[in-house]
Amino acid sequence: MDERLLELAERVGAKLRQRGDTVAIAESSSGGLVSAALLAVPGASAYFRGGGVLYTGDAKARFLGLSPDALAQPRAATEGHALVLARGVRDRLGASWGVGETGAAGPTGNRYGDGPGHSCVGVDGSVSRASTLETGSSDRRANMVAFALEALRLLDESLDAAG
């Protein structure tokens, strides 16, 4: 696993443990790398509630218990959709924090017209934040790592903002 992911996951895990908070993950284009990085940290059971790689609309609806209509607006691969995923997984698993990620890893874009290397991340907890990342690359593996790094970075930033 990418060392940058592990270092960031260790920092996030320490903050979650210190606060007594938990996290749940709903990721798509990062392919499970956010969860894997958090779970690679010794003591992850203190803060990691669970999550899933929710790659299709049907999987998102079934796992999160949301209607297809609730997932349709805002559309996938937007900051609004990432926040819907974050809130949905947070509520579903009873976590303090939820992280949602959605995008197009590549080598091609998605059906909405977003190019490869496009990802949106949402974090929902005592503060809510969202971000968009455009890598400009069609390298699927590199994009997946970049998306996971962005998700962990935004969670880290949100934990700091929450005090």
> Per the structure, how many domains does the chain have?
1
Q: What is the reported pLDDT for 68?
A: 84
- Residue whose C-alpha is closest to residue 38's, from 18, 17, 59: 17
Q: What is the reported pLDDT for 26?
A: 98
| The pair of three-digit structure tokens given for residue 33, joined into one six-digit string | 């790398």
Q: Domain of 151: which CATH number?
A: 3.90.950.20
- Residue whose C-alpha is closest to residue 137's, from 100, 91, 104, 98: 104
Question: E strands within 28-108?
Answer: 48-53, 97-104
Q: What is the reported pLDDT for 51?
A: 97
Q: What is the reported pLDDT for 72?
A: 86
Q: What is the reported pLDDT for 120?
A: 98
Ranges of the chain with pLDDT below 50:
none
Q: What is the reported pLDDT for 96?
A: 98
Sign for the CA dihedral angle at 113, 115, 116, 120 comes to negative
CA-based angle 77:81:83, to the nearest 5?
125
Sequence-distant (≥ 6) Cβ neighbours of residue 157 within 8 angstroms: 129
